[in-house]
Structure 1
Amino acid sequence: MVLEANAFARMHELKLLHLSHVQLDGSYAEFCTRLRWLCWNKFPLDSIPTDFPLGSLIVLEMQYSSLRQVFKGTKRLSSLKILDLSHSHSLTELTNFSFFPNLEKLILVDCERLVDVNESIGNLERLVYLSMKDCKNLRMLPENMFLLKSLETLIISGCTNLNKLSVEMLRNMEFLKVLEMDEIPITQLWRGRSSCILSSLPCSLVYLSVWGCNLSDDDFPRNFSNLSSLRRLNVGNNPICVLPNCIQGLARVDKLSFPMCKRLKSLVGLPEVDDLDIQHCVSLEKITYQYFPRYKHAYYYFPHHIWPSTRANGNPNLVEWEDSYKVEPIGRVDVDMINLLGLCNLESMAPIRIHKPFSSAIDRSPVQGLYEGRKFSTFFGGNEVPVQFSHKSRGSSISFTVPLLDNHIIKGLNVCAVYASSSSQFLYNYWDGIEGIAGHMITRVRNKSKGLKWYSLPEHFGIPHGEDIIWLSHWKFKDEHLEGGDQVVVSVRMAHCFQVKELGIQFVQVEQESNNMMSTTVYPVYPSFMSRLDYLFNDEDSDEDTRDNEEEQQDDRSIAAPTGSNNCSSCLHGWKVLITAACNLTLSLSRRQKQQSESRG
């Protein structure tokens, strides 16, 4: 569109003007003279005319312009604070920055023909933000950039042809907080000195990104003691195999990102973080921590793929996540556990289809043992509860009374569920509507006599495909959690594509010694917000203690599921919403506690 320049001449009070794909015809001297903010996408000229009245301009945005140079000759813009020339693919020359003495923000993203930067940039004493992302032909940065004492953010990601970058310049930027160097050839710029360079970055840094810089394990320093203020670190898409030692010592880091590290096999000794990104680390097998995470409750209660501070998908080989789960072939499971469950003929167990939490592929796998928190499970083909189970029931729920035992205590329960697919189309529509939902099945053990409840949401589970599946699990309890005479209900709820056919219960007993009670691991009682999952089991809650809490249960159901619905599939969305809300609440409280602790420190 072509407009006459004098069309704006009488707009004396115009402060903000946004033009896009517009060409002005005539003298620019008659253009509006009091503009504060000019945004002109696709500016058609190769330079800004000298008669353009920009003396009052504070913000100048000319993205996708045809500019080759900003101005011809000299033009001082003392009021200009923000200059954005992003995606100006013809820009080859930048004006003398001395004419923009008060510039605070300079954005030159994707100016692909820009080769160098005028040394006068060092005179911008108020420059806070500088982005030259994806300036692919940029060869060097002037060494006097260290004079930018106010600079807090420097983004040079994608400047893949940089052949000179002064370490001294970076080290002397004493107020720099954000440094993004994605895809910069660090190992080529400083051959043999990569670790030395990374350990010489300014101590003021809060966020560092070296995504895709071709850094191997040996390219990282022994420690990041110089980066005591670092809170966020992105080392994604690098050929590292293990967690670099320097990352273990980052005491204040909140977010660690390792996306697309396809050779990464283990993260052993992770520091405590709020946010972890391990997406598409296809070789990753093991994650452990330096010490117990402050979100340990979340690792017990919720699968990681719905925990809001963890992004993990495309990790088909992840078999161990400390204090969350561990998967190993059934032949390697501890012999005592095998005997405890009465398993035999392990070699003859046929492979079954297994759902893995971080992989969309559903392939046949050998039978495996799954440790989650303090519970063990295994899935294998079979169509009936084993004969050694003392209590059996058709359907998805079983009630029983704990027997009175002489000189014995109840160490735990073995729970067995036989289930099948209720839909022949399961493998085709499995991900429709349930992707990201916490588990596909849930078990609740409820001691009605003591008012205690336990839940299990396995992340790995067998998928029926022409055969029934047996889910066999062992639950450990503290001595006082199960005693003779206790009324107990065990229930299993599954989504619409699975159907529970039979349940079985077996008591695990141990002889009581007079002076040495056997020590058993405590299986934690879940916090009150987990009781929101009880709407999945509301057909059992007709006893007196449940009626006393009828109002609370009704509130839970009104939030989590449609009124009167007992169908698990209709409640899945509510289930996800409630668990995510609980996670967010826990995360918020933990962060608040951390802030209070730091303020006291």
Structure 2
Amino acid sequence: MNTQRESSSHLSYDVFLSFRGEDTRKNFTIHLYFRLCQVGVNTYIDDEELRKGDVISNKLEKAIEQSRISIVVFSKNYASSSWCLDELVKILECRAKLNQVVLPVFYDVDPSQVRKQTGSFGEALAKQKQRLFGDEIMEKWKAALTEAANLSGWDLRNIADGHESKFIESIIKQVLQEVNQTPLDVAHYPIGLDSPIQHIVLLLQSGCEHEVRMVGICGVGGIGKTTLAKAIYNRIFQQFDGSCFLSDVRSKTEEFGPVKLQEKLLNQILKGKEFEVDSVAEGVNLIKARLGSQKVLIVLDDVDHRSQLESLTREKSWFGSGSAIIITTRDEHLLYGLGTSEIYQAKLLHDNEAQQLFSRHAFNSFSPPQEYDELAQDVIQYSGGLPLALVTLGSHFQGRSIEEWRHEFKKLRAIPHCDVQKILKISFDGLDDNTQSVFLDITCAFHGCYEDEVTKTLNACGFYTESAISTLVQRNLLQRDCRYLVMHDLVRDMGREIVRLESPRDSGKRSRLFNPQEVRDVLQENKGSENVEVLVVERRALKGVKLSIKAFQKMINLRVLKIDDLYISGDFKLLSKELRWLSWKGCPLKYIPSNFPAEKLVVLNMEGSDVQDFGLNLQCCRSLKELNLSDCKRLRSTPNFRGSKSLKILSFENCSSLKEIHPSIGNLESLIDLQLSGCKKITDLPSSICQLKSLEYLCINDCLCLQTLPVNIGDMQNLVIIHAWGTGIKQLPVSVEMLRNLEHLQVESRNSEAKRSFSRRRVRRIECLPIFIFHLSLPYFGFSEHDIPRDIGRLFNLRYLDLRGNNFLYLPFDFSKLPLLISLCLNDCKNLQTLPSLSNLDYLENLYLSNCQKLVKITGLDYLPSIKMINMIDCTSLQNPFNEGFFSAIALSTPCIKFLELQLQIYVESNEIPDWCNNKVTAPSICLTMPAVKNNEYNFLGMVLWFVSHFCNVTTRLQKFDVTIGQLSEFFLTWVPDSQGEVSCVYYFSFSNGRPFNDLDIIKGGEQLRVEDGSDGGIIKKIGVHLLYLDQHGNVTSFPAVTDHSYTPKSRGWQ
């Protein structure tokens, strides 16, 4: 990764000329040199006649280092000079370390000869080797020639018809652009910038050519927004009539006011003029008047208030066509309503990038020394990919001994580094009181919790939680991960440090307690105070410690309490009456005391407790919205639910001693989610359960003794999901037809004997299914073609259909009215003979037909543009439908853009590779040379990999194989369905837009392609490779490759 040069003002030369004197000194090079001097470019040209020996002089090395640009003139005899080759090595070192611009010029030589060291360059290097230059030097020279030839430059043969003077003018133009730039200082080690720079530049270039583009870069403090904006500015500012980078807009607005920023914007873009602005309104008018016809680049860095944007870049119409505006901010919300074209969320560094950046600052290398590796990985993991932390902590740990590392890291975990804390806290300081309180509660108690649970709890505490969470997400202090609230560990630590500083010496006087040792001290020594609002004991942190309830007596404002696995005795009326959220998982009490202060309690979680009877009167819990008694193995009965009108979530999951549900459950008029999975002794559900008009989710999985669903279940009009796996249910009530909002219906016995008896039994036919069903699973119901619900064929919203193990010979409906179907599972339908045409299923991704032993015909397989998985193992009557035409159709339906991607997996009972597959071997690996085809006549579409694999006596059904093209390699892991003996595993790779091989621009003829079995135990027995190309007429064709039968693969095994 390149390192930005600290300052361009200390350079001695604009251009260093590297050339072979005997070839070009008296013609091309001297003309180029004089022309550079004429336009004022300070150019270093070496006097080759004064060179002595084979090693370049210190003076010459210094001249290269002190040049902004190196122009390398490759001519026929360039490589015959060891001096020139050493110059080139030094030049490329400066490119890597000092960001020097290198411009290659190919003077009457083919760039490919330079790149591959053929022709005169190959001959010259051969002679150099005869002069006894060592292998190391030769490899350096070859690498330098290859690298230089791959850079963007000029080929005399292809520019200006070989006219030298015009050729030189094109070089002069490029040099002047480079010389006249004044780049911003980006970062000492700009690691991880290439990909986001390319992404944002593409965002700026998308859309109409004359459109004014506005792109926002958002992210938490320290994530590298400013660094990224500077790098982009340096990359593109020369493409504009004028440009301005306004840094630290937030702090400079506070210090100088918006008018000074307007003046700086005008003065920097309209150089040579000094503007004085009296008011914001006048500044706006000047910006509109003076910049309205200019194509400008403007970067506003670290914006934190809408007024800053209003005074500087409120309207795109203020600027000329083609202008670009980049805004960096921690607050994404500021960008809405401004006509922002795109918003880019700055990303944390990947693991390898994080290691490089940290190591460069801590060790001045790209990886830690072996003896520091474990310690370094701890710090890198702690930094969580945040560039600010990696740079700051890398510098902090630099030069310290191993023992010092251990002490400093231990301190770091308790007290965040002040520089990191300072930057992150800027975002916190800009929040209102309500949002600050919600943020601190989440950092100390609710990190990683369900958003709904956090919202209802903190709303009950008097906060405006939805608004606060929205603000925190917009300011990148919080993220939504599915339904959970999460934040970067350093952001969490920043919040916890704010709480620690409320009372650094006396933890009992802080608003929130979370550190296990500090919590232990406060509780055991009765140090709590009225300041404590939140107290969290991490599970098992104080396991075995016995406490008196008196330890909580002074905490009269306690509203959030987590005391998992903690043993507490005493009079529970001493607990705070402000309690809203209580988590007491693993509670050792046999019953809940009746004097428990639960008037304001919103969430009660007693998962995994020893509770046998729920003694607490729920009529005293009128605010309770969530009650979790899951995994309470000794619980014998549910509470009386009368009076609990607010309860929305109720869980008795895995309460294996629970035999019945109290009939008063019908009084829970607000209940939405009822979890009864794993209640193995429940034999029936009370009829009153059908009074739950708000219930949306009913889960009764693994209720083994449950024989029926309530007859009137159709009265539960809001029911959306019924999950009933592993039950004893033998019949669906007819009233299921009335569940008009039902989207998921899954009923299945997990007991094999029950499945067999179930499949032999004829059930009353269900005439009508709820029309909005999204997921329908009715396996092993014994349905024949006569009693399967024909209504399935009109469920236009259906995505997932599972009819495994039924008895029908055919499906009495077609798929024409199931256009959204994604997954179709008919495994174990042993009597199934034919299927309706699949040709209308444009979104079908997964087709499961294993063990359909009588299936003889499938139509429409060639018309599945979204298909990703087909399992036809043990379809013994079905002729293999996967011919060359099938894969040609798949190839045409897949967008052909740029990258090699695993598109389709097929598993079929076969021990032979078909004849149409034109490259095959009976071996666990294959090595091919790609066919030489004309790229302008044929486009590579993709390839079929056909494996015959053996799965007897193997410990895993994971199949691992490696694919290598040229120097790029990627491994793949796939899960192969159950089968015995040999099975064909077929994979189609499209050359489309996705990973892996994301550095692969084109697959060329002559490139080596290798496929190797990487599975433990050698599963693959035969391999076939079939390459597909698209000709100019839109037809798919194939060309055979050359198989290298002498190829020896690497040793196999997990890597």
TM-score of the two chains, using structure 1 as the length reference: 0.53
In structure 2, what is the Cα distance between the partners aligned to 1:443 and 1:534? Answer: 17
2:1027 aligns with none
Q: 1:165 touches 1:189 (CA, 8 Å); kept in 2?
A: no
Please list the CA deviations of residues 424-467 of structure 1 after superposition, one character each: whole Å capped at 9, or x if unmatched. xx4xxx7xxxxxxxxx677755532744234663443689xxxx
In structure 1, what is the Cα distance between the partners aligned to 2:646 and 2:1013? Answer: 58
Q: 1:237 touches 1:262 (CA, 8 Å); kept in 2?
A: yes
In structure 1, what is the Cα distance between the partners aligned to 2:674 and 2:821? Answer: 28
Counterpart of 2:943, as a letter, is L
In structure 1, what is the Cα distance between the partners aligned to 2:694 and 2:736? Answer: 17
2:568 aligns with 3
Counterpart of 2:946, as a letter, is H
Q: What pairs up with 1:98-177 in 2 under 5 angstroms?
A: 98-162=666-730, 165-167=732-734, 169-177=735-743
Rg (Cα) greater in structure: 2
Which residue, 768, 771, 775 being the options, matches 1:207?
Answer: 775
Which residue, 871, 874, 877 being the options, matches 1:312?
Answer: 871
Change (3 A) 1:236 1:30: same
Change (3 A) 1:36 1:217: same
2:848 aligns with 278
**Higher helix proportion:** 2
CA shift, 1:103, in A, is: 0.9
Does residue 791 of structure 2 align to residue 227 of structure 1? no
* Number of residue pairs matched by the alignment: 384
Change (3 A) 1:32 1:223: closer
More displaced stretch, 140-149 vs 213-222: 213-222
SS at match of 1:89: coil
In structure 1, what is the Cα distance between the partners aligned to 2:814 and 2:757? Answer: 19
2:630 aligns with 63
Please list the CA deviations of residues 227-283 of structure 1 after superposition, one character each: whole Å capped at 9, or x if unmatched. 3432321112435565x2425344334223326426356645224143224174474
Does residue 1019 of structure 2 align to residue 452 of structure 1? no
In structure 2, what is the Cα distance between the partners aligned to 1:189 and 1:285? Answer: 19
1:352 aligns with none
In structure 1, what is the Cα distance between the partners aligned to 2:998 and 2:671? Answer: 55
CA shift, 1:77, in A, is: 0.7
Counterpart of 2:880, as a letter, is E
Does residue 588 of structure 2 align to residue 23 of structure 1? yes
1:335 aligns with none
Change (3 A) 1:537 1:228: closer
SS at match of 2:740: coil
Change (3 A) 1:321 1:236: same
* Unmatched segments (≥5 aa) in structure 1: 299-306, 328-355, 371-375, 379-416, 431-439, 464-491, 497-525, 542-565, 573-601
Counterpart of 2:933, as a letter, is N
2:602 aligns with 36
**Higher strand proportion:** 1
CA shift, 1:59, in A, is: 0.8
In structure 2, what is the Cα distance between the partners aligned to 1:441 and 1:250? Answer: 46
Q: What pairs up with 1:12-411 in 2 under 5 angstroms?
A: 12-24=577-589, 27-51=593-617, 53-65=620-632, 66-71=634-639, 75-95=642-662, 96-162=664-730, 165-167=732-734, 169-183=735-749, 192=762, 196-197=765-766, 199-221=767-789, 224-239=792-807, 244-258=811-825, 260-261=827-828, 263=830, 267=835, 269-270=837-838, 271-272=840-841, 273-278=843-848, 280-281=850-851, 283=853, 288-290=858-860, 293=863, 295=865, 309-310=868-869, 312=871, 314=873, 320-321=880-881, 358=907, 369-370=914-915, 376-377=916-917
CA shift, 1:209, in A, is: 0.5
CA shift, 1:116, in A, is: 1.6
In structure 2, what is the Cα distance between the partners aligned to 1:15 and 1:153? Answer: 29
Change (3 A) 1:315 1:17: farther
CA shift, 1:16, in A, is: 2.7
CA shift, 1:128, in A, is: 1.3
Q: 2:682 touches 2:706 (CA, 8 Å); kept in 1?
A: yes
Please list the CA deviations of residues 281-324 of structure 1 after superposition, one character each: whole Å capped at 9, or x if unmatched. 474876744485251xx7xxxxxxxx6x3253755867534676
In structure 1, what is the Cα distance between the partners aligned to 2:910 and 2:742? Answer: 47
SS at match of 2:813: helix
Q: 1:69 touches 1:93 (CA, 8 Å); kept in 2?
A: yes
1:386 aligns with none
In structure 2, what is the Cα distance between the partners aligned to 1:92 and 1:459? Answer: 55
Change (3 A) 1:64 1:447: same
In structure 2, what is the Cα distance between the partners aligned to 1:495 and 1:219? Answer: 55
- Higher relative contact order (CA closer than 8 Å, sequence separation 6+): 1
* Unmatched segments (≥5 aa) in structure 2: 1-564, 888-904, 950-964, 970-989, 1015-1055
Counterpart of 2:744, as a letter, is V
In structure 2, what is the Cα distance between the partners aligned to 1:462 and 1:225? Answer: 37
Counterpart of 2:788, as a letter, is F
Counterpart of 1:93, as a letter, is E
CA shift, 1:91, in A, is: 1.5
CA shift, 1:189, in A, is: 11
Change (3 A) 1:277 1:84: farther
CA shift, 1:150, in A, is: 1.4
Please list the CA deviations of residues 457-506 of structure 1 after superposition, one character each: whole Å capped at 9, or x if unmatched. 3443689xxxxxxxxxxxxxxxxxxxxxxxxxxxx99999xxxxxxxxxx
Counterpart of 1:146, as a letter, is G
Counterpart of 1:358, as a letter, is Y
Q: 1:153 touches 1:177 (CA, 8 Å); kept in 2?
A: yes
CA shift, 1:58, in A, is: 0.5
In structure 2, what is the Cα distance between the partners aligned to 1:192 and 1:420? Answer: 50
Change (3 A) 1:569 1:87: same
CA shift, 1:21, in A, is: 2.2
TM-score of the two chains, using structure 2 as the length reference: 0.32
Change (3 A) 1:174 1:29: same
